[in-house]
Amino acid sequence: MAEVCNAHKKSNNVRFKCKINGMEGKTPFLIGVAGGTASGKSTVCKRIMEKLGQADMDHTERQVVCISQDSFYRELTPQEKVKAEKGNFNFDHPDAFDNELLLRILKDILIGKKCEIPVYDYVTSSRVQNQFTSIYPADVVLIEGILVFYFPEIRELFHMKLFVDTDSDTRLARRVPRDIKELGRDLDQVLNQYMNYVKPAFEEFCSPTKKYADVIIPRGADNTGYPKSSDNQIQLSRSTTIKTKIKQYSSLPLNHTKKISSCQWSQQFPLVKLFLVGYIVH
């Protein structure tokens, strides 16, 4: 694939104009989705992809793709692996991630490069050797994770930032059976890790990043839209430049051979519109 890219600065953020397969297009629309553990971040991303008809498409043809920050957990030392096996390693701390790799991948995505994402094994707390997920050039890229807004260099790359705000009791109720079933941990181990690491890390590192969000989604994907109660409403941050973003990205290029029809694209694609009308799902 031939790629010709020129970068220039605009409003203190790096913007790129790229030629992919000889066609010039806009920078991919990069959306960060943050929130506490088991808040529903990945479900929100899945619903967005389903809404845009992208969930069942072949990964080489998707115009909307999703990447998890979990894929960028760093490799543990032998001593840290022993702690992890006993539930005594803090995976919710900023130092648990390979932030340099994530930053490099996101910059490559923004210039239209095909990227290889590590495959992470939660059971062994390590990356699967020689296995990667290929991310092809897309028009919209969703990055979800507990600390995607924590690191300034990464945060500044997002064109839009969503925060999934789910109460702690609900998140704990989701996490306990998930960790027991998927990771084979016992109840005491899950609760110990939550109380000693997950909850304190959320309060110290994750929750404060809510202030950076352009959109706050109470109750995540359970928020079924056009609410009567203000508690259920999808909230727009007053400090955001969201109107500018809507204007700038209301129409995005189609870089793939298999395309959504022009009518379907123009009616559905401006993702911001989904939030402004009060819907994530309906």
The answer on pLDDT for 233 being more than 70 is: no
Mean pLDDT of 246-263: 38
Pick the range with the lowest mean pLDDT from 126-130, 223-227, 255-259.
Answer: 255-259
Mean pLDDT of 35-60: 81
Mean pLDDT of 105-116: 93
Measured CA to CA, the distance from residue 157 to residue 174 in angstroms comes to: 30
The answer on pLDDT for 4 being more than 70 is: no
Residue type at 189?
Q
Residue 225 confidence class, pLDDT cut points 50, 70, 90:
low
Average pLDDT over all residues of the chain? 75
102 and 208 Cβ atoms separated by less than 8 Å: no
Question: What totals of helices (H) and strands (E) does the chain contain, helices first?
Answer: 10, 11
The answer on pLDDT for 142 being more than 60 is: yes
CA distances to 182, 224, 237 from 81, rounded to whole Å, are: 18, 41, 40
Measured CA to CA, the distance from residue 114 to residue 18 in angstroms comes to: 13
Domain segments of the chain as ranges:
28-276
201 and 92 Cβ atoms separated by less than 8 Å: yes
Assigned architecture for domain 28-276: 3-Layer(aba) Sandwich (3.40)
The confidence score (pLDDT) of residue 86 equals: 85
Angle, CA 139 vertex, CA 107 and CA 163 arms, to 5°:
75
221 and 43 Cβ atoms separated by less than 8 Å: yes
The confidence score (pLDDT) of residue 237 equals: 52
The answer on pLDDT for 128 being more than 50 is: yes
Pick the range with the lowest mean pLDDT from 88-92, 103-107, 214-218.
Answer: 214-218
Half-sphere exposure of 232 (CA within 13 A, CB side): 12
Measured CA to CA, the distance from residue 202 to residue 204 in angstroms comes to: 6
Pick the range with the lowest mean pLDDT from 47-51, 126-130, 183-187, 244-248.
Answer: 244-248
